[in-house]
């Protein structure tokens, strides 16, 4: 089993749609959680940190459920510019401060 698993995708949605990405992690001692965005052939860039209390940034909402070891990202009112790969990232836990990336979920937003 992979340490961080994401929906395989790709997701194809029309502009204005709401789309949800899910991620599960296996190490219950993991300490911090993020969603990154990666455009084709570019470096990953931080989209949001994820907290147990949930956090929202404009059209984006992230949630963490430590009991279920589950992380989610919700994008409302999708824009063409949201087309990218979304990466779930987990830091830390037993054995040091490794960073584990999910394989990513590709999103295509169509006009």
Partner 1 sequence: EAQVTQNPRYLITVTGKKLTVTCSQNMNHEYMSWYRQDPGLGLRQIYYSMNVEVTDKGDVPEGYKVSRKEKRNFPLILESPSPNQTSLYFCASSLSVAGDYNEQFFGPGTRLTVL
The burial class, CB within 10 Å (0-12 / 13-18 / 19+), for 105 is buried
Shortest distance, CB of residue 108 to partner 1, whole angstroms? Answer: 17
Rank residues 49 and 61 by Cβ distance to partner 1 and give the closer one: 49
Shortest distance, CB of residue 14 to partner 1, whole angstroms? Answer: 27
User: In the complex, which residues of this chain contact partner 1 (CB under 8 A)?
Assistant: 31-32, 34, 41-46, 49, 87, 91-92, 96-104
Please give the Cα distance from 27 to 92 (Å, whole number). 9
Please give the Cα distance from 18 to 22 (Å, whole number). 13
Rank residues 53 and 111 by Cβ distance to partner 1 and give the closer one: 53
């Amino acid at each position: 089993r992979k340490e961080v698993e994401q929906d395989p995708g790709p997701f194809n949605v029309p502009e204005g749609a709401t789309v949800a990405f899910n991620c599960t992690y296996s190490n219950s001692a993991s300490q911090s959680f993020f969603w990154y965005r990666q455009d084709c052939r570019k470096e990953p860039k931080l989209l949001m940190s994820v907290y147990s209390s949930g956090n929202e940034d404009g059209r984006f909402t992230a949630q963490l459920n430590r009991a279920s070891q589950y992380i989610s990202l919700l994008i409302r009112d999708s824009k063409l510019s949201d087309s990218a790969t979304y990466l779930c990232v987990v830091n830390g836990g037993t054995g040091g401060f490794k960073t584990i990336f999910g394989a990513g979920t590709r999103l295509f937003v169509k006009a």
